[in-house]
Amino acid sequence: MLKLRVVAVFAAIFTALALVGCNAAKKPEVNKPETSKAESSAPASEAPKGGKVVAEIGKEKITLDEINEMMKAIPQQYQAVAQSHKDMFLDSIINQRLLYAEASKLNFDKDPDVQKQLDEARKEILIKAYLKKEIEDAVKVTDEDAKKYYDANKEKFKEPEKINISHILVDNEAEAKDILTKLKGGADFAALAKERSKDASKEKGGELGFIAKGQTAPEFEQAAFALQPGQISDVVKTQFGYHIIKATEKQPEKLMAYDDIKDQLKQMILAGKQKESFEMLLKDLRDKNKVVVYKDVIMPPAPATENKPVEAAPAK
């Protein structure tokens, strides 16, 4: 299974390399002047300017330095796998170059449909590079920015009151009252839940875990939060049936610690600033280039429908 996952990752890497166009594919060198004896006498594992040679495709050499640079260009989520399987990564580069060379030799790049796709890919690459410079590299968020936002918006970082509960759910009130009587007489809640409850939580003795307000039916919530740890509710009716609820622990509302959420907070602020910068950039470009949109042409209004008066039925 692990091998299949690695193969799948390298299939994705191969696709990424093809889309990113990170110079992994080069046209075959033709009519290249012959090398001198001194050059040809150099060891096959050494390249004059590119470091150690790891593979050759005819006269073309692929160096370790090239491979390491290519790895930097693939998506971040694939880099660890590529590093630990450099041989498979190299195979993907060789395959790409062979396919690219053959496609070029057969003049696929002259095909009009292919040229359109290449033009679109070029646009995407240029846009990505432009946005990286104007947005990603330009917009930064410091620890000071995050702390200032945290201090000014503490209400947003409060964890609500929570209660840890278990319950028993049945279809009718009579059965619920019978169970409640047994519980008041000292019966074990978890054992009765496993025996009598119709809810899936019966497998865990009726345990639902911690809930906050707004997560359950209003009647259920009101009864649950009225309990103190160790207490059992009366019979509670909801749209799902009849419940008996037991509280085991309560957590009061608390403020999340800044250090615990600092990184997520910085990412949130960064995303907001980048979105704002992107929208301002587009607005400036539209204003500068005097963009006019004719909405009535692209989205013409629906034709008006005539409301003809309904004729009265003839009297019988």
* Structural domain boundaries, residue 165: 161-252
Q: Are 96 and 174 in the same domain?
A: no
Q: What is the dihedral of CA 93, 95, 96, 100, to 10 degrees?
A: 140
Domain total in the chain: 2
Within a domain: residue 150?
Answer: no
Point out the domain boundary residue: 231, 252, 273.
Answer: 252
Instruction: Note down pLDDT in tens along the chain; length 316 residues.
Output: 544 454 555 555 555 555 444 444 444 443 444 444 444 444 444 444 558 999 999 999 999 999 888 888 888 888 888 888 889 989 999 999 999 999 999 999 999 999 999 999 999 999 999 999 999 999 999 999 999 999 999 999 999 999 999 999 999 999 999 999 999 999 999 999 999 999 999 999 999 999 999 999 999 999 999 999 999 999 999 999 999 999 999 999 999 999 999 999 999 999 999 999 999 999 999 999 999 999 999 999 888 776 666 565 555 5
Q: Evaluate whether residue 153 is within a structural domain.
A: no
CA atoms within 13 A on the CB side of 92: 23
Residue 141 domain flag: no
Give me the long-range contacts of 90-93 (CB less than 8 A, separation at least 24).
90/54, 90/55, 90/62, 92/10, 92/13, 92/14, 92/17, 93/17, 93/24, 93/62, 93/67
The pLDDT value recorded for residue 31 is 41
The answer to whether residues 81 and 15 belong to one domain is: yes
Structure confidence at residue 304 (pLDDT): 76
Q: Are 270 and 141 in contact, with CB atoms under 8 Å apart?
A: yes
Question: Do residues 171 and 106 both lie within one domain?
Answer: no
Query: Is there a domain that residue 57 lies in?
Result: yes
Domain annotation covers residue 237: yes
Q: Compute the distance between CA of residue 27 and CA of residue 253 in angstroms, rounded to an integer.
A: 64
Q: Which residues contact 45 (CB under 8 A, 6 or more apart)?
A: 52, 53
Q: What is the pLDDT of residue 311?
A: 62
Question: For residue 312, what pLDDT is reported?
Answer: 57
Task: Return the closest-CA partner of residue 194 out of 233, 232, 176, 168.
Answer: 168
Domain end among 213, 232, 252: 252
Q: Which of 88, 110, 132 is the last residue of a domain?
A: 110
Two tokens, residue 131: 């946005």
CATH number at residue 201: 3.10.50.40
Instruction: Identify whether residues 23 and 94 lie together within a single domain.
Output: yes
Q: What does the alpha-carbon distance between residue 285 and residue 279 come to, in Å, rounded to a whole number? A: 10
State the residue for tokens 């907001």. 272
Q: What is the C-alpha to C-alpha distance for residues 57 and 24, in angstroms, rounded to an integer?
A: 13
Place of tokens 């060891």: 43
Q: Which residues contact 50 (CB under 8 A, 6 or more apart)?
A: 61, 63, 65, 66
Is 6 within a domain? Answer: yes
pTM, two decimals, is: 0.61
Is residue 117 one of the residues assigned to a domain?
no
Residue 290 makes CB contacts below 8 A (sequence gap 6+) with none
Domain for residue 197, yes or no?
A: yes
> Quick one: which of 205, 216, 262 has its CA closest to 238?
216
Where does residue 115 fall: left (phi above 0), alpha (psi -120 to 50 degrees), or beta otherwise? Answer: alpha
